[in-house]
Amino acid sequence: MTWQGGKRGREVGPISPFARLKPLASDRDDTEKSLNKLAQALTGLGKPMLLDVRLVTGNEVERVEHWEVKAGSKDAKVQRKESNKPDVILVMRPETWTQIAQGLLAPYDALLAGKLRVGGDFEMAKDITKHLTDPRATYVSPC
């Protein structure tokens, strides 16, 4: 309510310049299925890569679920295991991955908000993001 008794207009925060990904998953897809769709979407990138996706759950006692995603080539594959020498490491909560995979949250927004951590080859991570960006949106690099 305003001081005059009327309703306040909805406050809109700043609009992000960062593009979301083209949707890789639906709201019914589990983690493995969405990561398989990620691996398949990266086959067109043209260079093989190994991603270690770490999904962190819990508050007081954290549990980490490791997923190895082999992507960038025709033999794309996802396994539930820790990767030996990944090119890119992604660390986030499962709900963050779900939002990114469904195209609801831009990866760079998640990174800047502290919801996503990236390790390894950051240039490759940027290439992945650019490749997966929704074609209706303009890709903007954070740096």
- Supply the pTM of this predicted model: 0.83
Token digits of residue 94: 């499962």
- Structural domains for the chain: 31-132 (3.30.1050.10)
Q: What is the pLDDT along the chain (143 residues), one digit of tens a residue?
A: 445 555 555 554 556 778 888 888 888 889 999 999 999 999 888 889 999 999 999 888 889 999 999 998 888 899 999 999 999 999 999 999 999 999 999 999 999 999 999 999 999 999 999 889 877 777 767 66
The Cα–Cα gap between 113 and 40 comes to 27
CA distances from 21 to 31, 60, 93, 100, 108 (A): 16, 32, 18, 7, 10
Q: Which residues contact 107 (CB under 8 A, 6 or more apart)?
A: 18, 21, 100, 116, 129
Distance, CA of 112 to CA of 25 (rounded, Å): 23
